[in-house]
Amino acid sequence: MNDTLPLNALRSFEAAARTGSFTRAAAELHVTQSAVSHQIKLLEEWIGSPLFERQGNATKLTPHALTLASSLTSIFTEMDTACRRARTGAKSNTLVIAVIPSVATCWLIPRMSEFKALFPGINTRIIYAIHGHQIDFNEVDVAITYAQEKLELRNAITTRFLAGDSAPVCSPAFLELQGELKTPQQIAKAGLLHDTDRRGWTQWFKKASPQKIEFGEGPIFEDFNLLRAATLAGQGISLCPLSIIEDDLQANRLIALSLITVNAESAYYLVEPASRSHAPRPEAEQFRAWLFGTRGHMALEDQDSWQ
């Protein structure tokens, strides 16, 4: 018996098993149906047992053929992906980074000049990562996204990057206009801004005060960058992730009004491919090392916290 792995026969079998038809497999592989049948017969002879149970005009995969087909589909998919990435990588050394808009605008882009100075040979392309959408590592090298709880993704490595703890903040101009904003009651009476819905402020007041506090409705913003813009413009107080607005706080564009935070379970994650066919490129590894070396350890200045 020839021990050489019959790759053509395996390809024909995988296509037939996946499509459920010799005819469809032949069309996909651009060969005749008889060629597919011939290759599968050769594979059955090489394995030493049937791969299909023939019931009249219908065929059904045997139990061991089902296992083989599943493994082959995974292997051929990885081979296809690896070859396509190699072909693309041979043409360009561009590092593609998918980032959710809030992190891109407030944190990453302001720091990219530092990355370019350290790694002038790496070209970068920054695109939006859409929250809740699957990341296509055929098109993306690394991604930064957000999750309200520990993020675990199939075929991906997720690493907690920035904390999601949020605190009340406002602009210096708004604070000067409103006067003293040191208690939950004072904050509740000022203009509140909301991110997506009003649940954030409900949680914050519940944590900040033993007494139930009523607060006005205020405008809702469906995007964090819109919320931040309104806060910077002095339109009210918002709950913002401190790690994301670190630059605003340090530059005194925004002022944190309290040490009390909510959303401690949420975080921003670096997402990288786990599949063998998506082995990290050197550029991606350099970006990762820079990213975690650059993230701040911002803390609020000492203030009297409320009991």
State yes or no: pLDDT of 90 exceeds 60: no
How far apart, in whole angstroms, are the C-alpha atoms of residue 47 and residue 41?
10
270: nearest Cα among 192, 193, 184, 160: 160
Check whether 307 has a pLDDT greater than 50.
Answer: no
pLDDT, tens only, 215-248: 888 999 988 999 999 999 999 999 999 999 999 9
Question: Do 7-90 and 166-256 have matching folds?
Answer: no
Quick: pLDDT tens for 112-141.
Answer: 999 999 999 899 999 988 766 778 888 889
On the question of pLDDT at 304 being above 60, the answer is no
Say which CATH class 7-90 falls into. Answer: mainly alpha
Which DSSP state fits 192? B
Q: Is the pLDDT of residue 89 over 70?
A: no
92-164+266-294, CATH topology level: D-Maltodextrin-Binding Protein; domain 2 (3.40.190)
**Which residue in 51, 291, 303, 84 sits closest to 181, CA to CA?**
303
> Distance (Å, rounded) from C-alpha 97 to C-alpha 155?
18
Alpha-carbon span 59 to 73, nearest angstrom: 19
CATH number of the domain located at residue range(s) 166-256 in this protein: 3.40.190.10
Closest by CA position to 269, among listed 115, 196, 164: 164
Among 90-94, 244-248, 290-294, the range scoring the smallest mean pLDDT is 90-94
What residue spans define the domains of the chain? 7-90, 92-164+266-294, 166-256
Which pLDDT score, from 0 to 100, does residue 150 have?
Answer: 83
Helix axes 7-19, 63-91, angle to 10 degrees: 110
Give 297's strand partners: none
How confident is the model over 25-49, as pLDDT tens digits?
Answer: 999 899 999 999 999 999 999 999 9
